[in-house]
Structures are given as structure tokens and as C-alpha cells.
Structure 1
Amino acid sequence: MHLLRKKFAASIIALTFTTPALAKAHRQPQITQSHWVGTWAASQQIPEPANSRAPEDLTDATLRQIVHLSLGGTELRVHLSNAFGTQPLHITSAHIAVPLSASSAQIDPTTDHTLTFDGKPDVIIPAGAEYISDPMAFPAAPLSNLAITLHYGQPPARETGHPGSRSTSYLVHGDEVSAADLTGAKKIDHWYQIAGVDVEAPANAAAIVTLGDSITDGHATTTNGNDRWPDVLATRLQAAPGTRDLGVLNQGIGGNHLLTDGLGPNVLARFDRDVLAQPGAKYLIVLEGVNDLGGLTRLNEISKAQHDAFVARILGSYRQIILRAHARGIQVIGATITPYTGSDYYHPGPLSEADRQAINQWIRTPGHFDAVIDFDKATRDPAHPDRLLPAYDSGDHLHPSPAGYRAMGEAIPLSLFVSR
């Protein structure tokens, strides 16, 4: 026993002498860890009949789709979606490559790589699910284009996609996923089954999610031109040294609503998938509400009390967005609703304009959103503040023109994202 006590005491002395060294080791700077950050994304929905494909189109078919990245990286992975499918979807092969242009099916064949899923070149995506590819070493420059080519053996039981791609996709029959060109391809300005691209990025990199309707999705922008306001923001971020570690994810859906399903699920219904699940999401810009306001009186006017109750519900939806984002550590930036008096579709009257003004005043009021982007001020006609500036009007008095989208993207203070 005496011998055991001596050995125990010696062990305590040795531990005492080594503890400062161990403590010093724990104080050494930790190696910076990388993580996955979204560089491109598209909100998923059920394509309406005019934008869906006939079953024979996607039977033994190759579909090549072009996406525009924001943040660069040397390793990436791709998200495929069957979110609205009613049966498992078998993608028999998937490739990525560098396209020769944003408006061509041609790729650089030396950059063609096979995506794998759990080590296999095909994947069966369960109904209602998303599947992420294995990481792939692939040098992707900031603001570059990426071709994602899928082969379908059988068509989806129900399609999942993003109709408002503003980007041309290319469809041929047969398995041509590695072909340098898809000669004679059918051209389709929609995306199907592709939901996101992530890059491996430094620990301080993050993503900005832009949540909105057709004005975020880019209605009236240039097909294959990548001139939506989130694209303008991404370009500005990459040009400024202090913000080059930020990706921009466009989660706009044309016709989207805060309170009801429109073209795609309402904002709160899609919030978990389109915002909270986005890799590296640190900031959220919210530009939603014009379709709710316009739709309220599109067919007939209602009472002032009904207008007031509707505005209160919209503000409640904003509060829910803020609450849910803050719970995940995401900063929420409110964007004021742009003018739409004169809209050929909604025909808003004085009460609808008063609703917009009331909502914008709430957005601008400190204590609600973490910060504000005043898109209303950036796009309105000073002589007629309830209308878009003519130079920024696409012609329907609701959607901005490419010049208007540029003004929106340039109105965003980059200082909102510098101090992290």
C-alpha cells in the first residue's frame, strides 16, 4: 500500500508539471476549418402545365442545364431535388462541366466530371426529398457558369423544378451526359431537378439568401444574361475585397405570396427548405408582399377594415420570418416593396397604395428587421412616387427592367455584410 501511495503521488507531481504545457497547447490558435457554403440555388415548385414536360420528353433523355455561380471554390457538390415528386426518381447519371457560354449546350470536354452519390454514378431520390452529391474536386471561379447534365431513364411521377430560370436548358434523347455538344437539342427556358450548388469555403465564408417573388426571380431580365438584382449584388460582392467570401442564393419564385400559395408554396411553407437549410446561410434579404397586396383587390375592391386586417397579417408573416431566422443565427434584412401603380395585371387603387406605404413604413421602422434596403426609394419615379421610374419599368408597371434591376442591386449597401 505504501508503494502504491508513492506511485500515485509521483503521478500527481508529473501531471502538475505537465498541466501548464497542456494549457498552452489549448491556447494555440486553432486551424481554420472550411465548410460548405451555397454558391447557387433555385427554389423548387411544381411546374404549372405550360412549363412542365410531357412524359415522353423525359424518357431516356439527357437534360443539360446552365447555372451561374456566385462564390468560387476548388471543391463542390450538387443538390438534386424530388421535393414534389410522388414516387422515387432515378437519375441514371449526372455530370458537371464548364460550358463554353451561358447560352450554349457546348461544354469544354476536358472539364467533364461524373458526379457520384454514395460512391455510385446514379441516384434514386425518394419522393419529397433532396439528395446531395458526393464532394467533387472541381475548380470553379467566382461568377462562372456551370453545366449540370442529367440522364433520366423514366420521367418523374410528378415534376419538381424552377420554371423562372431565365436560362436555357437543352434536351435530347439517349444518354449524352458527357457529349461536348447536344446537337439538335430542344431548348427550354426552365430548370428541372437541380436545387443548389455548394462550394467548400473558408470558415469566414457565408451565404446571402434572397427570398422573394418574380422581382427577385428576375421576370423581364435578359435570358442567359444573369442580370437579376441578386446577380448584380453577387458581382459587386466579388469586386470588393471585404466581401469576396460571400455567396448569393436566389430563392425567388414568380407569383409567390406571403400568405397563400401562388406559383409555388407560400413563404412560410417553403422557409425551412429555401432559407434555413441553405449551407452557410448568414444573411437573409426579404422582398415579398406585392403579389399579396395586388391579389387582394385584383377582381374587386374591399373595405378599409379588410385592408387593415390584411396588412396586419402581412406584418405577422414578416415577424414569423424574423423569428425563425434569428433562431438559426441568420440576420434578416427587410426590403421595401417597389411601386406598382398602373400595373396591367393588378390595377391597384388608392387603398392598395396606402397598404404598400404602411408596410414599407413598418419595414423602415427600427426594431423590426436587423437592417433595411430601400428598393422603393431606388426604383420609384420622384414625380410619381407610387410608380416605377419609366427608365426602370419593364413596361408592365410592376416588374423592373434590366436597368431597374441594376439600380436595385446597386442600392444595397455592402457595409451590411462586411462586419461579421
Structure 2
Amino acid sequence: MKRTRKDFKRLALFAALVCAAACLQTHAADQVPRWIATWGAAQQTPEPRNALPAKDLQDATVRQIFHLSVAGRTLRVKVSNAFGTAPLHFTSVHIARPLAADAPAIDPASDRALSFAGAPDVLVPAGAEYLSDPIDYPVDALSNLAVTFHLDNAPQGETGHPGSRATTYLVHGNAVGAANFSSPEKVDHWYQIAEIDVQGSPQAGTVVTLGDSITDGHASTTNGNDRWPDVLARRLQQSPATRALGVVNKGIGGNRLLIDGLGPNALARFDRDVLAPAGVRWLIVLEGVNDLGTQMEHGDVSKAQHEDLTHRIIAAYQQIIDRAHAHGIRVTGGTITPFGGSMYDHPGTLTEAERQAINAWIRAPGHFDSVVDFDAVVRDPHHPERLLPAYDCGDHLHPSPVGYRAMGEAIPLTLFER
């Protein structure tokens, strides 16, 4: 059928209307507020020395103080029973502004009860996590938030984060709204809280840091928030281009890429710790030192075994990169820092050569989207297999707070600019 000029005009008008509608829809989508994680911690089963006796969590109120990375006017809290073996009943969960980072006192005027599907309590299934309903509650960047919950019965299988570097306060009875606790039990571990989210601008996003104790902050200051991800969060707030970005620390002390130990191995926990946090757009990976350091815990290994471990560590990095890319997440690789003179140092073995080979792969183009050379930042230039003494906490494996500051300051903020 021959089309007339009028037909072509109608088609052109229809196409223009379709295009305009699509543009309007895209523009509207770009204006939708975005949930982003302002705080989070990797969950695990606390090892026996870090777990609480069941009696301590029977009819107990737990108050924990979390350091937020990015501001927001609306927030929600994710409670966790990820490693529980039975449903866990949170009878009440409150938020408030603490009066200090290292004490249980709160401003009672700021205390608010959270709800879950409109109810004041929630029964979280075994192995699950649960978001609270959103609440209008403005919080500033780099501020602290107290989250207090009451349990009527202790969890069957605790879920927590032993390497909190922050103090938790416990009392018996339901005291979720109390302005202060009288003679509370104090432990430097976190329990049953996985994440705090805020609603940010459409351009907002979250940076996840995946790692072991060097990311978790071993030897950092208790209640001081001076791990290298904390330093990164502070720096992001100093630039208007990155002020809408949150940082979530998913380090676990003793964690490995390939083998369970302290917490599930990095590949096993990837979905929960990297993909699940709200608004993730970037990932920084610093993991592998424990795989290298523990390979000889039962004696010498052959050259072939060293080479096999190197191959499997690199393959694990590639798995992380591929899985992150499938979800639109850009991945930065951090080189493995030196550990000469530490408990992991085995002179005369191939362990240091393995570290160098793995770091060469990390630095090489075409693997990670970008690289932060933590090794170059903290190593002693005269003894590159060792930490610079000024950055060494004393065990020759973990940086000091000064070393963590150098690491956090070495990350280019341009990695996170759109």
C-alpha cells in the first residue's frame, strides 16, 4: 500500500510522542530517591570467645552505636538472624541519638520506635534478615546513631560481627527507650544488626569494602572509627562530587577468599555482603593475606602447592569481578600488604614470591576496573616485604591507625565520580 505524505507525518508525530514519553519516563526514574547503605557490617557466627552466653540475651536489651557515613532524612534498619537456626523475635527496636560514641546514654527526645510491616515487633525467620519500615528521621553524615533492641528469648545461633571496634551495652528487661543504662554489661562486639540505610538523591550510591582484618580494622581505636574505610568515608564527605556516597565495611577478621574460618569465605558471602547492601555501585577488594599466611599452618608445602594457591586466589578475584560486573558494580583491587616478620612470615619459602605474583596480576591492566596499590602505600622502601615501621601496629601484619589513615588517603576520589 502506498503511503501518502499525511501518513508519514502521522508516523513521525507518533514516533516523536513515543520518544517524548520514553524521555519523560527516564527523567522521572532519574528523580526517584535511592536507598543507600550509610552503615553496615558483615555478619557471621561469633566464635565461642566472642559469643554471648545465652543467659545474657534472655529477656535482654542491647544498645549499639553505629557511625554513619552519609546523611539522609529517611532511614531504615536491617536486623539480622542470618546465622540463626530458629526464628528470632525482636519485641522492640528503637533508634536515638547517642550523647557520645563510647557510652550508652542517649538524648531521650530523639528516641523513636521502629515498625516492621506496621507492627512494633518482628519474628525474623532462621537464616534471614529483615528491613524495618522507613521512618522520617534526619541524620547527618559522619554522625552516630544508637540502635536498641529487646529480645524475649536468646537466639538459637547468634549472628553478629565480632570485630566491631565499638562497645555494645546490655541490660536485662525491656529498656529500649531508657535514657541511660545503669551498670550495663559491656562487650566490644556487635550483634544482630546488619545495616542502616538512608534515602538519598538519585545520584547517590554505596561503596562496599570487602576484606579481612585489615579492612575490619584490627588495631584501630575502639570507638574511634579510624579504620581505612572510615577515612575514605570522611574524605568522600569533603568533596561535593562524592558527598552523596555511603561506605559499608564488609571486612571480617581472619577471613579468606577460598576457605571458611572466621566467617564464610569471601566467595560464599559475596551475595549477602556485596550485592545485598542498598545502592551498591562500587566495590573495593582487599583480601588474600590470610589465604597466603595460613597455607603453611600444618607444615611446609611444595612449589606446586604454592603455585596452585596463587592460581586459585587469582581465579577467586576474577569470580568476584565477573559477579560484580553482572550487577553493574565497578571493582577496585587492592594489592596485598606486606607481612614480613609476622606470624605469617616463613623465611626461605615461596610465600613472598606468591604475594608479589598476585600483586602483579592485580596491578596489570584488564583485570580490575581500577587498582589501589595499598602495598606501595604501607611498605618499607628499604625492606619491601615488611610494613613501614611508622605504619606497623607492632605485629608486622596489621597497620596502625596512622597506617590506616595513609591507606584511606591513597584512594583516588575520582574512582567514584560519575
Give the TM-score, by structure 2 length: 0.94
- C-alpha distance in 1, partners of 2:304/2:116? 55
- SS state at 2:207 partner: strand
Q: 1:261 to 1:22 in 2, by over 3 A?
A: closer
Residue 298 (structure 1) shift:
3.0
The reply on whether 1:30 has 2:17 as its aligned counterpart is: no
Q: 1:27 to 1:84 in 2, by over 3 A?
A: closer
Residue 305 (structure 1) shift:
1.3
- C-alpha distance in 2, partners of 1:323/1:179? 47
Letter in 1 for 2:27: Q
- C-alpha distance in 2, partners of 1:58/1:26? 54
Q: Report if aligned partners of 1:298, 1:348 keep a CA contact under 8 Å in 2.
A: no
- C-alpha distance in 1, partners of 2:18/2:378? 60
Moved more, 293-302 or 323-332: 293-302
The reply on whether 1:297 has 2:287 as its aligned counterpart is: no
Q: 1:18 to 1:158 in 2, by over 3 A?
A: same
Partner of 2:214: 215
Q: Deviations over 1:270-319 (max 9, x none)?
A: 00000011111000000000000000123422111110011001011011
- SS state at 2:198 partner: strand
Partner of 1:283: 282
Letter in 2 for 1:225: G
Equivalenced residue count is 407
The reply on whether 1:186 has 2:185 as its aligned counterpart is: yes
- SS state at 1:93 partner: strand
**Where do residues 43-82 of structure 1 align in structure 2 (5 Å cutoff)?**
43-82=42-81
Residue 222 (structure 1) shift:
0.2
Runs of 4+ more than 3 Å apart: 15-29
Q: Deviations over 1:74-114 (max 9, x none)?
A: 00000111011000000100000110111010111111100
Q: Report if aligned partners of 1:37, 1:199 keep a CA contact under 8 Å in 2.
A: yes
**Where do residues 230-241 of structure 1 align in structure 2 (5 Å cutoff)?**
230-241=229-240
The reply on whether 1:325 has 2:324 as its aligned counterpart is: yes
**Where do residues 4-403 of structure 1 align in structure 2 (5 Å cutoff)?**
24=20, 27-28=23-24, 30-31=27-28, 32-343=31-342, 345-349=343-347, 350-403=349-402
- SS state at 2:350 partner: helix
Q: Report if aligned partners of 1:40, 1:69 keep a CA contact under 8 Å in 2.
A: yes
- C-alpha distance in 1, partners of 2:34/2:139? 16
Q: Report if aligned partners of 1:229, 1:406 keep a CA contact under 8 Å in 2.
A: yes
Q: Which runs of 5+ in 1 are unaligned?
A: 1-11
- C-alpha distance in 1, partners of 2:301/2:19? 70
Give the TM-score, by structure 1 length: 0.94
Residue 38 (structure 1) shift:
0.7
Letter in 2 for 1:126: P
- SS state at 2:232 partner: helix
Residue 125 (structure 1) shift:
0.4
Letter in 2 for 1:398: L
- SS state at 2:27 partner: coil
- SS state at 2:408 partner: helix
Q: Deviations over 1:358-387 (max 9, x none)?
A: 000000000010000000000000110000
Letter in 1 for 2:275: L
- C-alpha distance in 1, partners of 2:115/2:334? 39
Letter in 1 for 2:152: G
Q: Over aligned residues, Cα RMSD in angstroms?
A: 1.8
Letter in 2 for 1:67: F
- C-alpha distance in 2, partners of 1:297/1:131? 40
Q: 1:18 to 1:378 in 2, by over 3 A?
A: closer
Letter in 2 for 1:254: G
Seq. identity, %: 61
Q: Deviations over 1:17-67 (max 9, x none)?
A: 985678656545824111211111100100011111111101111000011
Letter in 2 for 1:347: D
- C-alpha distance in 1, partners of 2:298/2:345? 9
Residue 347 (structure 1) shift:
2.7
Partner of 1:6: none
Q: Report if aligned partners of 1:340, 1:348 keep a CA contact under 8 Å in 2.
A: no
- SS state at 2:267 partner: helix
- SS state at 1:387 partner: strand
Q: Which structure's CA Rg is the greater one?
A: 1
Residue 16 (structure 1) shift:
8.6
Q: 1:16 to 1:186 in 2, by over 3 A?
A: same
- C-alpha distance in 2, partners of 1:282/1:264? 24
- C-alpha distance in 2, partners of 1:185/1:24? 61
- C-alpha distance in 1, partners of 2:377/2:203? 30
- SS state at 1:409 partner: helix
- SS state at 1:258 partner: coil
Q: Deviations over 1:190-229 (max 9, x none)?
A: 0000000110011110000000000000000000000000
